[in-house]
Amino acid sequence: PKMAGVVPLYTREYFSLVRSRLNPGGLATYWLPAYLLLEKESLSVIRAFCEAFDDCSLWSGLNRDWILMGSRGGVKPVGAEHFSRLWKLPLGRDLQRLGIHGPGQLAGQFMADALTLRDVTKDVPPLVDDRPRRIRSALHPEPSTPAYTLLMHAGRSRERMLASPWPAILPPEVVAASADGFLFRGMLEAAFYPELRPANYNFWRDVADLIRNTGLVEQPRWMLGSGARAAQIAAKKGWDDPVAAEHLAIDALARRIPPPDPVRAASPEAKRLIAFHQCLAAAPARDCAGAMR
């Protein structure tokens, strides 16, 4: 939105035009890169969207990559089989690559419904065509972003979802499974956003929980600063490259393959990750997180 000529694609008038092009019952989703915007600017865009879409809602991508969603005429209830079949189609591979391994995780990306969004943005004017400078070109850090913290908090997001119209739209099985989805999202967001960390926060304990108690692959990779593509590139370079060694160690941990020999690693951090991996593999009940502080 801060690039020249892009602001008009985030105004109330543009969102109204998007809505007018939808078929009855059609959905619009729109990328909101909150990490590029100051809090007041993001709220201005959200208000603009909600003034165009009565049933606006906000969903999490990763960290402050958000998604605005609205419909023309409302969203119809979805059956469990219809919803879950997405993961049986080729699309399922893409969803898993994006860290969405099932319907419950998708529901766990919910952040806020129209009621919450209108309350959060009530003191911020909407972004409109006649006031494009409500988004400034400057980008600078803010000391605190209380609205971001409120919207991103996974536990509160789940409470808002249960109190919203969405439980009547989503299958009951998906609503129930979303508890784990919100839990895993909370781990990710705490890793990336310090304001969301509880007083007793332990990063390595969360990583250990994901490795021991779930089959998730991408979430541990992301928390440790890697990803599937980084692992592919690292595999070509091999363990002798210090940076590649770290990504290879993360990949082995995330995919739950036997831990490699630490002697192979050309990086102290890679050796540390391998030691953590070995601890998890050797002692399922051991507090491996304590050794990583």
What sections of the chain are H helices per DSSP? 12-20, 39-52, 80-84, 91-97, 103-107, 114-120, 146-152, 154-162, 166-169, 172-192, 203-213, 218-223, 228-237, 242-254, 268-282
Three-state DSSP class for 267?
coil
User: What is the pLDDT, as a whole number, of residue 65?
Assistant: 92
User: What is the pLDDT, as a whole number, of residue 291?
Assistant: 67
Nearest to 234 by CA among 207, 272, 264, 279: 264
How confident is the model over 227-247, as pLDDT tens digits? 999 999 999 999 999 999 999
Cα–Cα dist 247/266, whole Å: 12
User: What is the pLDDT, as a whole number, of residue 63?
Assistant: 79
Query: Is residue 143's pLDDT more than 80?
Result: no
Query: Is residue 22's pLDDT more than 90?
Result: yes
- Per-residue confidence band for 140, with pLDDT thresholds at 50, 70 and 90: confident
Token look-up 């898993």 returns 96
Query: Is residue 1's pLDDT more than 90?
Result: no
Q: Give the CA distances from residue 92 to residues 29, 81, 96, 170, in Å, rounded to whole numbers and listed in that order.
A: 19, 14, 6, 19
Task: Kindly tell me the sign of the dihedral angle through the C-alpha atoms of 135, 141, 65, 156.
Answer: negative
Query: Is residue 26's pLDDT more than 80?
Result: yes
- Say if CB 24 and CB 73 are below 8 A apart: yes
Cα–Cα dist 187/220, whole Å: 10
Query: Is residue 290's pLDDT more than 80?
Result: no
Query: Is residue 16's pLDDT more than 90?
Result: yes
Three-state DSSP class for 165?
coil
- Say if CB 124 and CB 40 are below 8 A apart: yes
Which range among 32-36, 225-229, 244-248, 261-265 shows the weakest confidence by mean pLDDT?
261-265
Residue count of the chain: 293
Query: Is residue 18's pLDDT more than 90?
Result: yes
Mean pLDDT of the chain: 91
- Say if CB 43 and CB 93 are below 8 A apart: no
pTM reported for the whole predicted model: 0.91
Token look-up 């919450």 returns 116
Nearest to 59 by CA among 72, 46, 78: 46
Spatial CB neighbours of 171, under 8 Å, sequence gap ≥ 6: 78, 79, 80, 83, 103
How confident is the model over 81-119, as pLDDT tens digits? 888 888 887 888 888 888 888 999 999 999 999 999 999
pLDDT > 90: what percent of the chain? Answer: 68
- Say if CB 109 and CB 181 are below 8 A apart: yes
Cα–Cα dist 286/293, whole Å: 15
- Per-residue confidence band for 154, with pLDDT thresholds at 50, 70 and 90: very high
Which residues, in sequence order, are bridge partners of residue 58? 68, 112
User: What is the pLDDT, as a whole number, of residue 293?
Assistant: 64
How confident is the model over 168-214, as pLDDT tens digits? 999 999 999 999 999 999 999 999 999 999 888 999 999 999 999 99
- Say if CB 28 and CB 55 are below 8 A apart: no
Residue 76 tokens read as 């119809």
